[in-house]
Amino acid sequence: MIATNPDISTRRIVPLTQLKRGERGVISETRTDDDSRALLGAMGLRVSEPIRLCRHGEPCIVLTGACETCRIGLTRKLADCVYVEVGG
């Protein structure tokens, strides 16, 4: 018998731009170059950071941090590089 972890099979990881307005998640990875990754990190957008989408478009606006105290605007190109575990 093969044991499976139900948490893994139910995880949904999508680009930030695919979240619905108001949907929350946790950043799981950034698929971009080192300079852009450093820029995201300087804005507080790091792996394991909670995030909520406020607005689609250009800029894509998100709230981040455990208390959702930081509001950030991203270009769509950069937001497409941020992958989020939905509801995480």
- Do residues 73 and 54 lie in contact, with contact meaning Cβ atoms separated by under 8 Å? no
pTM: 0.84
Over residues 15-45, the pLDDT tens digits come to 999 999 999 999 999 999 999 999 999 999 9
- pLDDT range class, residue 7, cuts 50, 70, 90: low
Q: Cα(78)–Cα(68) distance, rounded to whole angstroms?
A: 20
Say which CATH topology domain 11-86 has: SH3 type barrels. (2.30.30)
pLDDT at 80: 96
Task: Transcribe 13-44 into DSSP letters.
Answer: EEEGGGSPTT-EEEEEEE-S-HHHHHHHHHTT
pLDDT of residue 8 exceeding 60, the answer is no
Structural domain boundaries in the chain: 11-86
- Which structure tokens are listed for 42? 């300087």
